[in-house]
Homo-oligomer: A and B are copies of this chain.
Amino acid sequence: MTRMLILGGTGETGSWFARYFKDCGLDVAVWGPSGKTELAARMGVRYAHDMINDARISDIVLLSVPIAKTIEVIRQVAPCMRQGSLLMDVTSLKSEPMKAMIRHAPEGVEIIGTHPMFGPTMPSLKGQTMILTPAAGRSEKWLPKIRSLLEAGGARIEVLNPEEHDEIMAVVQALTHFAYIGIGATLQALDFDVEKSRKFMSPVYEIMIDFVGRILDQSPELYASIQQNPKATLVRQTFIAECMRLSEKADSGNLEGFERIMREAAKHYGETHQALERSDRLINGRIKEKED
């Protein structure tokens, strides 16, 4: 039976994966910094009181600790892992954690970075994307096994190298979150009454304002750390510059200039009409839900 130790396995993401891999038939143990042994018991998995000792005897060590702690935990745990075992993480950034795992794990230990593109509120892996960043030359034995364990639950697997991953995520995650958090901060700065505004919603606003709330409801530490993506600085700066360019056109009544930016953005975007149709289905689904 494959032994898996999940460090941070009592957190939201860690316990989500503990349940998942237990259901896959793995022998799962969890460790967390605040010693929630009762949570382990409730999940029906073992609590690893001695993290280092458990890492020594595990086939797979999965790191699910806050990004800010990841490097430190890798430094402590990776050197103790045994030959033929696998070190994984679920961190939202990949370049730095991969470098640290490759550096601190003994040569005979394989390394696969992962980034689940969903949060622990998702009921299952079905239709969810997981990005894998396997270490070249150090993942051949475990990669097919991990892939099939995840695909068994319905996950879509995508393989990237760590630098490509961070570059894409600087937009997919960092920019998306940044814009929504920026709107949330604006609502506060304007002292705008969000509850009252719900009476005057358009479908686009209704969904946007829920996503602002969704992000503000979750861990500020996670969202702040995602902005630490080394490629995100340029993306944020570009976003602010483009907003200033648009605002300048609008402020000076240069409607043609504003429209030109929109047309060029639409041309670059590509299939805008399919996006309109998908969002129409989303909006109509919500209207039906309200009627039920």
Binding site for B on A (CB under 8 A): 68, 117-118, 121-123, 126-129, 131, 158, 160, 168-169, 171-173, 175-192, 194-197, 199-205, 207-218, 220-221, 223-225, 227-228, 232-247, 249-251, 253, 255, 258-276, 278-287, 289-291
Taking a contact as CB atoms under 8 Å apart, the answer to whether B172 and A197 are in contact is yes
Please give me the residue from chain B that is nearest to A251 by CB atom. Answer: B233
Q: From B68, B200, B217, B255, give the contact of A273 (CB < 8 A).
A: B217
Taking a contact as CB atoms under 8 Å apart, the answer to whether B184 and A182 are in contact is no
Q: From B118, B171, B180, B286, give the contact of A203 (CB < 8 A).
A: B118
One complex includes copies of this chain to the number of 2
Taking chain A's interface residues, is the majority helix, strand, or loop, or is none over half, making it mixed? helix
Taking a contact as CB atoms under 8 Å apart, the answer to whether A186 and B190 are in contact is no
| Contacting residues, chain B, for A234 (C-beta < 8 A) | 190
Cα(A169)–Cα(B183), bound, Å: 14
| Contacting residues, chain B, for A175 (C-beta < 8 A) | 183, 186
Q: Can you list 21 A-B pairs, Cβ within 8 angstroms, ordered by A? A: A118-B202, A122-B203, A168-B197, A171-B192, A172-B201, A173-B202, A175-B183, A178-B250, A179-B179, A184-B266, A185-B242, A187-B265, A191-B268, A194-B269, A207-B279, A216-B266, A220-B258, A220-B260, A228-B253, A236-B250, A282-B282
Please give me the residue from chain B that is nearest to A189 by CB atom. Answer: B238
| Contacting residues, chain B, for A233 (C-beta < 8 A) | 250-251
Taking a contact as CB atoms under 8 Å apart, the answer to whether A187 and B68 are in contact is no
Please give me the residue from chain B that is nearest to A287 by CB atom. Answer: B127
Taking a contact as CB atoms under 8 Å apart, the answer to whether B242 and A195 are in contact is no
- Please name the 9 residue pairs, one residue from A and one from B, whose CB atoms are nearest each other, closest first: A213-B275, A217-B272, A220-B259, A184-B265, A188-B268, A216-B266, A185-B242, A227-B250, A220-B262
Taking a contact as CB atoms under 8 Å apart, the answer to whether A276 and B213 are in contact is yes
